[in-house]
Each structure stands twice: as C-alpha cells, then as structure tokens.
Amino acid sequence: MSRVDNQTRDLAAVAMPRRQRSAQSIEAATAYLFVTPATLLLFLLLLGPAASVVVLSFTDWQFGSKTFEFIGFTNYAEMFQDDVFWTSITNTLIYVSVVVVGSVSLGLMIAMLIESRPSFRRVWRTIYFLPVTATLVAMALVFEYILHPAFGPLNEFLGLFGVEGTNWLQNRSTALLTLCGIGIWQAVGFNMVLFLAGLTAIPTDLYDAVAIDGSDSTWDRFCVVVWPLLGPTTMFVVIISCIRSFQVFDTVKVLTDGGPNRATEVLLFTMFSEGFTYFRSGYAAALTTIFLIFVLILTLVQRISIEKRIHYG
C-alpha cells in the first residue's frame, strides 16, 4: 500500500503543475480577450490616424485627389525654409508661455482664496468655472464686441481715465497679447478646480504642526506645506495647460484670422490654412507631424524636470 501511495503522490505532484499552467493560460487568454477591444479602439482612434498623418507627410497628396506620390522629405525641407512656419512657431511659443504662466498662477491664487473662505465656496467655484463650460466661439464674439475700437466697453472704460484705446485685435503690438488674455480667461477656471482638488488633499494636521513650530503666517504655511505638497498637482496642471495652449485655434480663426499681417498666426491655424484653404494636405500633414513631436518632447521634458523637484508627501 505504501508503494501505491507513493506512486499516487508522484502522479499528483506531476499533474498539479500542469493544472496550474492550464489555469494560468486560461487566465492570460481571458485577460487578452478583455484588453483586445480597448487596444483596437486605441489603434483605430489614436495611433492609426497619427500613423496615417506621418505617412501622408511624405507625399504630395492634395485634398480631393485620388492619386499621390511619395516625395520623401520635400515637405519638411520646404517647411523649414518657410518664413510663415517660423512665424507661427514663434507666435505659438509666445502664446503658450503667457497663457501657461498666467493661468497657472491665477488658478492657484484663486483656489487658495476660495479654500481659505468657507462661505459661498460652491458659488465661487461655479462662477470661476463658467468660462470652461462656455463655447469659446460664442464667447469670442462677445470679446469682439468688448474690444471693438469704436464702441467697445474696454475703450470706453479706459477713456474715463484719459487713456486712449486702440484696435486691440488689429494692432500688431496688441493682437497676440489680447488673444493670450482670452486664453488665460478660459483656462484659469479649469486650473483652479485642479488646484482645489490638490489643496483639499493636504492634511490639516500639517498646518497645526507648522503653527506649533512658530511659522503661523500665511506665507510660511504656503512655503512649508502648500507648495511642496502641491507638486504633483502643479506638474499635471502645467503639462495640461501647455498642451491645451498649443491647440489654440478657435479664437485665432474667429477674431483675427491670423492677422494682422500674420501677427497672430499660430501653428494650428497654419495647418488648417495649408490643408483646407490651399488643399496642400501632404504639407499640412508634415506640419501636423512636427506639432505632435513638439508636444511630445515638451511633455517629456516637463515631466522629467518637474518630477525631480516634486515632494509627494
């Protein structure tokens, strides 16, 4: 009987790994089965169109044409020799710099003010978040009225103090900065909500600990507690604000149409003009590829540089 029992145990020991491997195979197959729909959607909706744009950037295809030829890097060579491209890049960088700094700073300030005043907190949150929910094209028309050189309320208000207004959207020195102001107005509410979420997650015990150490002023609490613990939130807000700012198009198209004299022409507007006004789809695809690479590099650089100075508590 002992010999039979030993053989049974040996067979069971051999069969157990087989059953485990079979269960693991079934589990892996089930996991792949659940992941497949999301993977297909990822390729169809994101990676597939992006790859198509990259391929088209090496062709001379024009919108509506049934044929095209591969021309290599001709579109890219033309792009880097085009003054319009460099103008749009410069305007885009200026817009991103001003809007990101302004919207992130104001968003943090407003979030801290709302968090420090419990009364009517929900009302203030709603009021500052309204520009995010508003349709930017419709609001652009409102801003066009406000900034009108003849009967706009802004110039009327400046006139009360003896300041002569200007044609804000048709003056080369003010057009781009005016669009930056509109961009800050739209983005500050979104950034405020993100900062409010970060401020809510900070333990209140830390404020008491700082007060016990003798640093009970608002500035001390900000430097010692708030700013270090808002590191992850700040990183996310900066990256999202940069990407959203790079995608500016609505206000440029509605308010200035890239003018005056290309003073407000940004990269997305150039892509639109080349693709849907001049029907140079291959060249527009090359611009789009550069745009995607630029945003990707910017995101990676910001993430690496900011994460080195982040305190995650």
- 3-class secondary structure, 70: strand
Does residue 203 carry a pLDDT above 50?
Answer: yes
Place of tokens 């982040």: 310
**Stated pTM of the model:** 0.83
pLDDT of residue 10: 52
pLDDT > 80? residue 208: no
Looking at residue 8, its pLDDT comes to: 54
| pLDDT above 50 (res 301) | yes
Question: What percentage of the chain carries pLDDT values higher than 70?
Answer: 87
Q: Which segments of the chain does DSSP mark as H helices, in order?
A: 2-42, 48-56, 74-80, 83-116, 121-133, 136-146, 153-159, 175-200, 205-212, 218-221, 227-229, 231-246, 250-251, 267-272, 281-307
What are the tens digits of pLDDT across the range 88-124? 999 999 999 999 999 999 999 998 888 877 777 777 7
Half-sphere exposure of residue 111: CA atoms within 13 angstroms, side-chain side:
26
- pLDDT beyond 50 at 1: no
Q: What is the dihedral of CA 219, 221, 226, 227, to 10 degrees?
A: 50
What average pLDDT does range 5-28 have in this prediction? 60
- Confidence tier at 306 by pLDDT (50, 70, 90): low
Higher confidence at residue 49 or residue 308?
A: 49
pLDDT single digits (tens) 237-249 = 988 898 889 889 9
Strand, helix or coil for residue 119: coil
Question: Residue 83 pLDDT > 90, yes or no?
Answer: yes
